Chains A and B, each alone.
Chain A
């Protein structure tokens, strides 16, 4: 099956620093990648939709200058949390669509997630 690799799985950073999270589709081309955030005991909340070669589309309430998304190739998208604060501590998950599977396929393939802790 399709594999999405997300790195790192865990990161602890100091308040005010920036953290980059990578999401790679290993065996398929991902024209669209999605970034989610999940707080404890809450559902996945879509942060942004990233299309290869174009600007990301951010959901309402998500600061695009704080959460920088780059989708420079069909196999890699990155999320950079800039000037991180303790309230940004969360579980960040990416997912990717396989371009070959057509419109009915949605982000069925998730990365392993990144547990971010800002101290």
Chain B
């Protein structure tokens, strides 16, 4: 079982729609959760971090965490073509520096 699982996609949404990206993780002791955006040929950039159950909103982005279900998601409202990228879910287990990345979901926003 992979430690961090994501559907590789591609996920296609029309411009202006809500994009929903999902991630599950296997280590129940995980405490820190991150979403990164990676454009082709570039390094990842941090979009959101979340540590507690519930929702966390930042502009058009909302991260959702459910530790009981070991599930974390990212919603992108009013999707724009510039949001087209691969979104990486990353998880850090408590007390340990190592962060494990999922394979990433490729998002395509269609104009």
Binding site for B on A (CB under 8 A): 6, 32, 34, 41-46, 49, 91, 93, 97, 104, 106-113, 115
Binding site for A on B (CB under 8 A): 8, 32, 34, 41-46, 49, 51, 88, 90, 92, 97-104
Contact status B44-A44, CB under 8 Å: yes
CA distance A91 to B101 in the complex (A): 15
Known: A41-B8, A46-B98. 4 other contacts (CB 8 A): A43-B102, A49-B97, A110-B43, A112-B43
Closest 5 CB pairs of A and B: A113-B43, A110-B43, A43-B103, A44-B101, A43-B101
CA distance A112 to B45 in the complex (A): 10
Counting chain A CB atoms within 10 Å of each CB, the highest count among B42, B97, B100 belongs to B97
Q: Of B45, B99, B104, which is within 8 A of A106 by CB? A: B99
- On whether A32 and B101 interact (CB within 8 A), knowing A110-B44, A112-B42, the answer reads no
CA distance A41 to B41 in the complex (A): 11
